[in-house]
Amino acid sequence: MPPTDPATDDVADATHYRRPAEAQLPRTIRTLRTQLLAGFHSRDAVLQWLQELAVRTLGEVPTRQYVRFAAEFRPDSEHTEGVLLAAFLDSETRTRDLEPSVADCVRRQWAAEVIAPVQADSFRSLRKDAGEYVGETERDGDGDAGHDPAKQSIAMRPALEELHAFQEVALHRPLNGGLDDRREILDWGDDLVVATRGEPLGDGTPPGAFIRDLHNDPCGDLLLCDDRPHWRRCRQWYLCRNVLPAFNRGVRDLARRTAEEPTTSDGDALGETPEWG
């Protein structure tokens, strides 16, 4: 057995880090990748996971990935999902006849081709503003330096955590049985503006004009309100094609405007300015 390096062991077992935002990112990506490789129990769960991927990677997912994935939600003459979406779904949910080993391979390949580059882009985006922390107790020669990444908000930015919550609400409302009527489409527009931070939708339309057009479209209530299977699938395609890219851009915009705010073990923000590295 090769000798162990005590310094390496200390890093592997550490709970506190001087640059905790950087230490948090690979853990987050690993969790998302584990969820993907396990497969999803519903099409809605895939959309919710794609939204979380956007916020956890600081909005670095290329828009084209959402556009490509949206096509997977459109049924063909025999199946209700494309091959990629079928592979994302577990065997009890997908309608295509895929061998489990094939589905596993497709999911791993997507993780390698999409998530891995996005993780690198996210880290480069994060590192330029990541704070470096030295605890007061360490200056006295006692205690841990830095913070525990597991106890911090997304990228140590509470504003991103808030945006994540806004996006979850804006996505859940139309997915959860659809909206009630055209009046609720207008109400949903309020959520959409906050969740996208006013960024344009996937087709380039500003969110205000997007809601106006949906409200005035004769099929707008069918697309967002009708809970029959066909319209539910159309709604999933529409959200992936138009709304998720705007969420992603909104996250990227906020990540560039907000600063780290570390949280103590009791959940209170420290309110201190870190040393920017």
Within a domain: 276: no
Average pLDDT of the chain to the nearest whole number: 83
Helix (H, G, I), strand (E, B) or coil at 271: coil
Please give the model's pTM, rounded to 2 decimal places: 0.83
How many residues make up the chain in this entry?
277
- pLDDT tens-digit readout, 154-191: 767 788 999 999 999 999 999 999 999 999 999 999 99
More confident residue, 82 or 76: 82
Give residues with Cβ within 8 angstroms of 56, minimum separation 6. 28, 29, 32, 154
Query: Could you list the residue range(s) of the whole structural domain that residue 199 is in?
Result: 16-270
Q: What is the mean pLDDT of residues 255-263?
A: 78
**pLDDT the model gives residue 264:** 65
Would residue 29 count as lying in a domain? yes
Domain membership of residue 146 (yes or no) is: yes
What is the pLDDT at residue 27? Answer: 86
Q: Domain count of the chain?
A: 1
Helices (H), the chain: 6-13, 20-38, 43-56, 63-70, 83-88, 100-110, 116-127, 136-139, 158-175, 182-196, 207-216, 220-225, 229-238, 244-255
Is 9 a domain residue? no
pLDDT at 122: 83
- Residue 153's region, left for phi above 0, alpha for psi from -120 to 50, else beta, is beta
Rounded Cα gap, residues 32 and 272, in angstroms: 30
Does 256 fall in a domain? Answer: yes
Residue 10 lies in a domain: no
Structure confidence at residue 84 (pLDDT): 95
Tell me, what's the pLDDT at 6?
45
Kindly report, residue by residue over 216-228, the tens digit of the pLDDT. Answer: 998 889 999 999 9
| pLDDT above 70: residue 120 | yes
The pLDDT of residue 157 is: 79
Q: Is residue 96 part of a domain?
A: yes
| 59 part of a folded domain | yes
pLDDT band, very low/low/confident/very high, at 130 (cuts 50, 70, 90): low
